[in-house]
Amino acid sequence: MSRSSQRLFLALWPDPRLRTVLHTYAQQLQSVFGGRTVAKDNIHLTLVFIGSLSSDRIDGLRKIIGSLRAQRFELDLVRAGCWKRSQIGWLAPERVPASLNVLVSQLRNSLSDARILFDDKPFIPHVTLIRKAKCKSKADLPGIRLGWSVHRFSLVHARTLSTGPVYETIDEWPMK
Ligand code: 2AM
């Protein structure tokens, strides 16, 4: 990737207190699924993965996204699971709030209008807590019930260092 482009995605970023709780769940998941836990500061829920975008288009992207109006919602993370193919252990809601689906649709439409490419696979909201998971039986998993009051979303720059991924928030927007 050239230095004049950045790898970007839009995400919900938990506040530090919730990240700590999520990281505790990550350790519980790890004892069942194996693999390695996602670093506490890296825990998030991806809304749209954009990938590489030329740096000179980022201000335009921020303007477009900043003009959207999004509604707050409550996200109840009550399901834990593991995807063998991607070797990911995750938490997810049982029911996807309508406002979350609306937000993702608005973001995708705005990106399409601006001719910005993104990963358009079906949106399956999940918080990745384990990578390189072995995905054994989840019979031993403790019950999970975690409430997340979502009132902002973020544009994030992803970099891969020798020590692992580093995510830097470029901008964030409140929800009404
Ligand atoms: P994951 O947690 O399910 O792996 C940064 O890479 C974030 O973007 C991760 O949360 C990752 O999801 C998500 N993502 C979604 N689509 C992606 C893609 N095509 N390539 C890389 N990351 C992707």
Strand bridging mode 5-12 / 152-161:
antiparallel
Q: How far apart (Å, rounded) are the C-alpha atoms in residues 91 and 110?
A: 28
- Residue of the nearest CA to atom 11 in ligand 1? 46
Dihedral angle at the C-alpha atoms of 133, 135, 141, 143, nearest 10 degrees? 90
Phi, psi of 78 (to 5 degrees): -125, -5
CA distance 97 to 81: 19
Q: Are 82 and 89 in contact (CB under 8 A)?
A: yes
Q: Is the CB of residue 46 below 6 angstroms from any atom belonging to ligand 1? A: yes
From the first residue on, what is the mean pLDDT of each consecutive set of 10 residues in the chain (176 residues)?
84 98 96 96 98 97 97 97 96 97 98 97 98 85 90 98 95 97
Contacts of 67 (CB under 8 A, 6+ apart): none
The encoded tokens of residue 88 equal 């990911």
Are 19 and 39 in contact by the 8 Å Cβ rule? The answer is: no
Other Cβ atoms within 10 Å of 131 Cβ, number: 15
> Structure pTM?
0.95
* Cα distance between residue 133 and residue 135, in whole Å: 5
Residues 6+ apart with CB under 8 A from 114: 60, 61, 64
Q: Is the CB of 83 under 6 A from ligand 1?
A: no
Query: Which two structure tokens, joined as six digits, stand for 77?
Result: 């993370």
Domains of the chain by start residue, with CATH = 5-174 (3.90.1140.10)
Residue whose Cα lies nearest atom 23 of ligand 1: it is: 49
* 153 three-state secondary structure: strand
pLDDT value of position 25: 95
**Would you say the CB of residue 119 lies under 6 angstroms from ligand 1?**
yes
